[in-house]
Structure 1
């Protein structure tokens, strides 16, 4: 296989007569390090996990690579508190959110810029440079005039500018989506414009290397010893390092070959003389080669490409290539290395005269009267004779066809867009009893990449704002284009048609059968009315036709939907709540949402009417035998009605307030603790019945005797 034979380079550079001087290069390469001791080259796994350990090597990056980097500075977690609810003896709810500021060192050499950033596998910066989180990001590319980061300087006082090294700084990165800890970051780093030639990488790493050609790599991370890096680069370029004008250059089988005439073993008895040709057993040669690499087509995830041969062998040799390369290029490299390993079984010695000292290790030669081309791996001069050790150069192999490296479920890289916000005080969507006004908040974004927004609310016209955490999962939002006519809440509305236009074409609605509707599926807010739908038919352009409707759910039959009203699909995952103090009842409440794509926060104002606290209006007004009026109460805690009996009261006591207006007479208010009014009542009397709740009264049941 193609390797770097540094043991011969010292002599080769200085010439056979000046090996002591030339050996200084090989010695220097072995002792100059890129963050490690010993001749250890870069490894594929070194880029997998973000670290903060002291002494961790920082790679030199070339081309474009995805790296984890090393955390070099961070603040403590920053805690923000939000309070909601409270008042009149009610406990307030305190919420906490956390953020952090930190710096990540990326490359030990300057870079051009960065591309995408992943945090715990989630994309937080897109390929267009758009941030998908509400935070500040600064990138320091490592220029020689690089300034100190202002945030680090303000926190530490004295801090280096890290000139010549590339790093980034996150300021106030929200941590809620990452378990309130620093996430595992990986960054797409653009170190050079376009692929990087192997020779150019080597020349940057080692001053002893000249030339910048050879095979190109989409990206490369150099760490470990200089010798180890050059050895890996030689493998990547399917070549070897050879002396050239007092330096090293990457050689391959191209170019002319010097023709040698083998004179055989010298009769004087050259030390170490051996047979002219030796062939190692096939069991010493790998049966296959596996090349590990980073695949740009799979978001730089690690991939493996293998080349194998039939027959006996020494198993599969693993070659870790800390480089970004296509699956096709990795397969071609594996095949080339396997062919080279097979050819290296053969060792051929050639004995020359004194003039053979001009042939240095690394040269390509041909032997007179023999087929093939050979690489010189060792030169030995003694007793006026020169003995060269050669290995055959294999014939060129056919180009590898396109290789499929497999698919990857990449993180969505979609624009975030501005926040779309819907806020309403609705009846509670489960059977819990609230003790404070509750606003239901639903939000989404104009772009599919939108995830959440931070919430604030104000009940004093913006004089003060209270944090209220963040929105829930993105909701399906839209606008009503066609409204159905009013219909009873106790029957399926089979004639009504609700047409809505959703905010984005990728938003979807679905059908629901009767069993699913009974479980509360497809509950939507259309204006102030809660509606369920059984059938959803796409009309194109984000428009949907909703039929088989259930109207006025949870006591909202009085708020009929109208054209132009907002629409939002209500689910447990997408609806969040803001608990208000009781003092907010009857006041205008402003709610503000700020997401990653917002230039200005989205804002909605609603009046806290008590709709989340009041019981639903009574129903089924009937004349009693004594000429009076009876009715049936409903409960804000019994919508599921699983036992088929009376629903729970849900209030401190059963109480009603009636407004009785006889024909031509003045209205009279009555307070009752039972669901009927004794008679007789005059014909034409209008009666309004409200159930009195613990915190608010219901809407009226209005009937005329």
Structure 2
């Protein structure tokens, strides 16, 4: 007696295989290749399982395009960097820490052709254009059998101790900056492209079984599939449910079959009784309630960034049972809807079964064949085959008609924004501190942004010794608002509001914006911008183009920059100065009089980092030049010259009294330059000086500088005529 029972892979809705693949397939295949006796769990839908680092974690075989988490196979400890900044005179300095890590993630136990998007904690780390949103080095090993050892891993572990991981595709991240992720390694998922396009379930089954399973030439196409589980059998079961397939013996293996192509028509005469054991046939129809009323099919939806999608099929009639099919494959909503309908259709058709007995002359009806029966409509699959005493017994199951393609809705997808990063735009300048603190060493303010809205931050380094040595400042602050002057603001005074002039700026990208501010808000510090070398506050901001703005209602020469009024030219920098976007670089006193070179490198700065050079003239720590110089005659040709001092403290006049001195002592150096070219210097500790008749001969120019602990202010000058005129 020979018996072979062949079922669909699983019950109608995807349960375990019932029955046994018999000796006609071959014990070697059953034992060693296709259906191992111990365990047969296939891949499962895992809600985008995140990457792991557990020893022994299975690395899947990837097909098509699919999103997976991967497995961390190597990593360094966190790499700590620190930078030191001063908080002003008398205040303790602040040490800022930043962290990075280097690691490798295994993606596929089968060669791939590339990686598309990468998500970190659900947000895009790498966009569809290949741009990274956070700073990191990145290398991809495609998993071919000739791939070389990764140089970073080899440098850390030793060249002789580092495997090349041939046959495994993996990604290496080098100095991945962790500031955007709470200084911890984020959960990463990858869009892996293993094949150039969709792959059929038959092709996948054939490859993972080493050729023991022969797939149909066509078959259900999957956008992507990750083959894992504890047996090849489990994977093939899952694929067969996807394709509505069953198995038939083929040589030393099995063939995955689908469709209604008929192998044999069983004529009415073949079931004619010959002897008592022949001619038996029967029909059985299971109750409708044995078929689920609703089939819910979950899948990975490419339209939802490969998040889980859900489609359902529902039949009319009695019953309340609901069945859920987990299909761990990437397919679109329409294909998933069609697949759910096909599963339900097969379940309904499979209610009807036929039992036939035939003579030995019908042995050409093979197990797993698709047949037609005389006088009975439709096609039938031979699910059971037995030969005893020259009598062939067949168990046949009705096959469902082909399910027509259906439309399905993916629902509203909330995808991670994929905004281009762009290149870094960098501005740096020396000015008085924004918090009105009193500094004891030079400070340079750094503001950075990007040429595209997706820019986040960049790593900053600087050199104060002609690039002989470089120091790390850390990462830039929040993206600022930076642009270029299109029209210049023109000349004006610093003591009154400029209601005449305005100017236009072109911002770095369209997502940057400006807003107006009333006088009270500006008095509190709003809308302060560096325009060329002049600090300006604007009250009105009018957008006149995609990136162009016109600014008016100006307060000019703010924070002692009146000397720069009217010096701007087209193309000069425009920088909106806000506390959240300003990064402070505190320099040693030895940097005074020199130059600091600053570079910033972000994810989009592939060609070269952004760079600026800033002369350190002491604008942040030197006294301010006196203002309000005036003179009057004292009689006998002498003249008294008086002025008002200014302070680096107390920019807002809120109490009606003088601002604090802001220096260790009050002192001035006055230089008298006579008309004949002679000059002399007067030191004084009061805001006045007496110019004698002799000094006035031929006229005299008087220049006043306030003296501080670290140097002198810019000179304020006044002309005094000859006393005789």
**What's the CA shift for 1:91?**
6.8
Instruction: Tell me if structure 1 keeps the 8 A contact 2:309–2:410.
Output: no
Q: 1:390 to 1:515 in 2, by over 3 A?
A: farther
**What's the CA shift for 1:97?**
3.5
User: Helix, strand or coil: the match of 1:39?
Assistant: coil
Partner in structure 2 of residue 651 of structure 1: 662
Instruction: Tell me if structure 2 keeps the 8 A contact 1:138–1:168.
Output: yes
Partner in structure 2 of residue 193 of structure 1: 196
- Separation of aligned partners in 2, 1:117 and 1:288: 36
Q: 5 Å matches for 1:497-576?
A: 497-514=502-519, 516-540=521-545, 542-560=547-565, 561-563=567-569, 564-576=571-583
Q: Is 1:60 the equivalent of 2:70? A: no
Q: For each residue in 1:146-197, what CA deviation from the matched residue of structure 2 results, as whole angstroms up to 9, or x when unmatched?
A: 2222332333332322222211222333333333333322222221121111
Partner in structure 2 of residue 590 of structure 1: 597
- Separation of aligned partners in 2, 1:637 and 1:86: 15
Q: Is 1:232 the equivalent of 2:238? A: yes
Q: 1:312 to 1:611 in 2, by over 3 A?
A: farther
Instruction: Tell me if structure 2 keeps the 8 A contact 1:437–1:608.
Output: yes
Q: Is 1:423 the equivalent of 2:428? A: yes
**What's the CA shift for 1:52?**
0.4
The count of corresponding residues between Structure 1 and Structure 2 is 688
Partner in structure 1 of residue 374 of structure 2: 368
Instruction: Tell me if structure 1 keeps the 8 A contact 2:89–2:437.
Output: no
Q: 1:514 to 1:9 in 2, by over 3 A?
A: farther
Partner in structure 1 of residue 323 of structure 2: 317
**What's the CA shift for 1:623?**
8.2
Q: For each residue in 1:582-604, what CA deviation from the matched residue of structure 2 results, as whole angstroms up to 9, or x when unmatched?
A: 22122222222233324333332
Which range moved further: 49-58 or 237-246? 237-246
- Separation of aligned partners in 2, 1:678 and 1:315: 102
Instruction: Tell me if structure 1 keeps the 8 A contact 2:13–2:323.
Output: no
Q: Is 1:604 the equivalent of 2:612? A: yes
Which range moved further: 165-174 or 65-74? 165-174
Which range moved further: 605-614 or 620-629? 620-629
Partner in structure 2 of residue 17 of structure 1: none
Identify unmatched segments of 5+ residues in structure 1.
15-20
**What's the CA shift for 1:624?**
10
**What's the CA shift for 1:440?**
0.9
Partner in structure 2 of residue 210 of structure 1: 214
**What's the CA shift for 1:3?**
4.6
Q: 5 Å matches for 1:278-677?
A: 278-282=285-289, 284-310=290-316, 312-354=318-360, 358-381=364-387, 385-401=391-407, 403-414=409-420, 416-417=422-423, 419-514=424-519, 516-540=521-545, 542-560=547-565, 561-563=567-569, 564-596=571-603, 597-614=605-622, 616-617=624-625, 619=627, 634-639=646-651, 644-646=655-657, 649=660, 651=662, 653=664, 655-657=666-668, 659=670, 661=672, 668-672=681-685, 677=688
Instruction: Tell me if structure 1 keeps the 8 A contact 2:628–2:643.
Output: yes
Instruction: Tell me if structure 1 keeps the 8 A contact 2:248–2:257.
Output: yes
Q: 5 Å matches for 1:117-136?
A: 117-131=118-132, 134-136=135-137
Partner in structure 1 of residue 5 of structure 2: none
User: Helix, strand or coil: the match of 1:44?
Assistant: coil
**What's the CA shift for 1:529?**
1.1
What's the C-alpha RMSD, in Å, of the aligned pairs?
3.8
Which range moved further: 91-100 or 595-604? 91-100
Identify unmatched segments of 5+ residues in structure 2.
1-11, 721-725
Instruction: Tell me if structure 1 keeps the 8 A contact 2:134–2:177.
Output: yes
**What's the CA shift for 1:68?**
1.5
Q: 1:623 to 1:311 in 2, by over 3 A?
A: farther
Instruction: Tell me if structure 2 keeps the 8 A contact 1:428–1:636.
Output: no
Partner in structure 1 of residue 100 of structure 2: 99
TM-score (norm 1): 0.86
Which range moved further: 349-358 or 237-246? 349-358
Instruction: Tell me if structure 1 keeps the 8 A contact 2:81–2:97.
Output: yes
TM-score (norm 2): 0.84
